[in-house]
Amino acid sequence: MEHSQRHLYEIVDALVRAGNGFRPRPAGLGDDPFWLTQGDRRCYMEMPIDFAVAGSVPGQPAGLAFDEDNDLISCGLCWATITGPDHRPETVWNAARSTP
């Protein structure tokens, strides 16, 4: 697969080999584990991310962020993410902002 998020495919493959799975895309949209959303490409895992497995994949770029508290792996280089079922979107980009 020649996509900009190729390094994330290796992490998804390692998670799947370890027993996790990713939610399939809706029928007719292909079999790529990453879905194009409004902000990025996103892979939705069925079980929480095993960060020990994900972190053991060699050759990860410096822009990769592991957010264990939010069940999320994101890449600042390709703007793609791997999301576990415990991910809370309101804690990331669209969090409520308090006004002074």
Predicted structure pTM score: 0.80
pLDDT at 99 over 50: no
Cβ atoms of residues 24 and 35 within 8 Å = no
Q: What is the pLDDT of residue 100?
A: 46
For 3-45, write each residue's pLDDT tens digit.
578 889 999 999 999 999 988 777 777 778 888 877 788 899 9
In sequence order, which residues have a C-beta less than 8 Å from that of residue 45 and are 6 or more positions away?
12, 15, 20, 21, 22, 23, 82, 83, 84, 85
Supply the pLDDT for residue 20.
Answer: 96
- Distance from C-alpha of 85 to C-alpha of 87, rounded to nearest angstrom: 5
